[in-house]
A = this chain, B = another copy of it.
Amino acid sequence: MSGGGTFAKLPEPPYYAVIFSSRRRAREEDGYDAMAGHLFALVQGQPGFLGAESVRGEGGFGITVAYFESEEAIAAWRRHAEHAPARERGRTEWYEGYEIRVARVERAYGWRRDP
């Protein structure tokens, strides 16, 4: 999943966050980027999906935070027919490991530099 390195535009809390941190295996072209792009397109059409932010560092460690309206929206995305095979490829091919934390966002605030 990719968020393009930009801020997600989200409604006022409460909503839910899926915090996905992962370490990629040190491999070159292996279909990961294509699958990440495909999943990101899919999730954007998912009911209750609000937005995502994603970044991966040079060392292969990455964090993606995907935001959803509700726990049910998260569960529906998890049940998506193309999500399970992607998770399986993640474990067999792409990741050294990952952590998933599901959280309820209670409050949020931001700041932007004046242009």
The chain A residues found within 8 Å of chain B, CB to CB, are 5-8, 10, 13, 17, 19, 21, 23, 25, 53-63, 65, 91, 95-113
Contact = CB atoms under 8 A, between A and B. Distances in A.
Contact of A57 (B21, B57, B104): B57
Contacts of A98: 110-111
Copies in the complex: 2
B17 A101 contact: yes
A23 B112 CA distance: 9
Query: Taking each of A7, A62, A91, A109, which has the highest tally of chain B beta carbons within 10 Å of its own beta carbon?
Result: A7
A6 B101 CA distance: 15
20 contacts: A5-B60, A8-B99, A13-B101, A17-B103, A21-B65, A25-B113, A53-B61, A54-B63, A55-B63, A58-B58, A63-B63, A91-B113, A95-B113, A97-B112, A99-B108, A100-B109, A100-B110, A102-B108, A104-B104, A104-B106
